């Protein structure tokens, strides 16, 4: 069931989304080679509280952290740890803010140390552009399938692989709500839900350098990785639909 939000509820989500935008931007700037992913989570946890928000992810039963921090072949849901980051690692920072009863969700992927190889730059550029295309297709009267198609078009001819088992989603009082928003066309567009005012969606682009399947990481209750060690990335923003316009709730502070 799709839960539509009132303008007043979306305004609350916008406040939380601005907090989240700031936290993800600052966390990305905080990252340095030699630090652990747990240090990044500690930083994000403190900043969310300082800004007046609450942590979303620790409301998932059994999960204790503010972020998921995925490195290289880790795709999603990787808890912070004592892993020491190295220059050139690909790091996804995924976080959520809970504010006055509503969640927002956001992710970005960076190269640790900032000095990326051209292969890494191209890889991350495609994902960010695909997110932009998906957000641009979120329009009143379009369908969820139009969003999926817009994301998929950016990937054509790149050789990169959009993950089949992980999707974007609705977001609101629940961190994950209907509808699911795949990054690829999985059925006839006309069979997918129509986009209407009051929808709030977390548009998510999850992909890998090479075709891969997702498997559970050995020794983790949460982390999913590529089965062939292919590098993975994720870009995500939360967007709200109004009459004849949309608002990205989690992107006030620059590209990130």
Residue with tokens 């297709």: 137
Is residue 12 packed enough to be buried (19+ CB in 10 Å), middle (13-18) or exposed (0-12)?
middle
Q: Which two tokens stand for residue 178?
A: 């209907």
Q: Report the C-alpha gap between 27 and 175 in whole angstroms.
A: 21
122 known member of a binding site: no
The C-alpha angle with vertex 209 and arms to 206 and 212, in degrees rounded to 5, equals 75
Is residue 61 packed enough to be buried (19+ CB in 10 Å), middle (13-18) or exposed (0-12)?
exposed
213 known member of a binding site: no
168 upstream amide cis, omega within 30 of 0: no
105 known member of a binding site: yes
φ/ψ of residue 41, rounded to 5: -65, -40
Sign of CA dihedral 201, 194, 192, 183: negative
Sign of CA dihedral 5, 9, 15, 19: negative
φ/ψ of residue 236, rounded to 5: -155, 140
236 known member of a binding site: yes
29 known member of a binding site: no
CB 249 within 8 A of CB 240: yes
152 known member of a binding site: no
204 known member of a binding site: yes
- Per the annotation, where are the binding residues? 77, 94, 105, 169, 176, 204, 236
Bind-site residues for substrate: 77, 176
Q: Name the binding residues for a divalent metal cation.
A: 94, 105, 169, 204, 236
């Amino acid at each position: 069931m799709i839960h539509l939000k009132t303008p007043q509820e979306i305004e609350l989500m916008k406040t939380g989304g601005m907090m989240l935008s700031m936290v993800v931007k600052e966390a990305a700037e905080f990252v340095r080679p030699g630090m652990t992913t747990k240090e990044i989570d500690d930083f994000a946890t403190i900043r969310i509280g300082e800004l007046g928000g609450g942590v979303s992810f620790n409301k998932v039963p059994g999960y204790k952290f503010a972020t998921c921090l995925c490195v290289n072949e880790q795709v999603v849901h990787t808890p912070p740890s004592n892993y020491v980051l190295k220059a050139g690692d690909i790091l996804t920072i995924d976080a959520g803010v809970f504010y006055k009863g509503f969640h927002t969700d956001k992710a970005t992927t960076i190269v640790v140390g900032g000095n990326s190889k051209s292969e890494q730059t191209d890889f991350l550029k495609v994902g960010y552009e695909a997110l932009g295309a998906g957000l641009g297709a979120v329009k009143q009267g379009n369908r969820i399938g139009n969003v999926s198609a817009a994301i998929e078009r950016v990937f054509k001819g790149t050789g990169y692989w959009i993950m089949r088992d992980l999707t974007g989603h609705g977001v609101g009082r629940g961190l994950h709500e209907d509808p699911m928003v795949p990054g690829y066309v999985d059925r006839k567009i006309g069979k997918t839900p129509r986009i209407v005012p009051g929808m709030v969606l977390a548009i998510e682009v999850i992909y890998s350098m090479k075709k891969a399947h997702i498997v559970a990481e050995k020794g983790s209750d949460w982390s999913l990785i590529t089965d062939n060690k292919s590098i993975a990335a994720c870009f995500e923003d939360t967007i709200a639909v109004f009459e004849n316009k949309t608002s990205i709730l989690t992107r006030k502070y620059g590209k990130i």
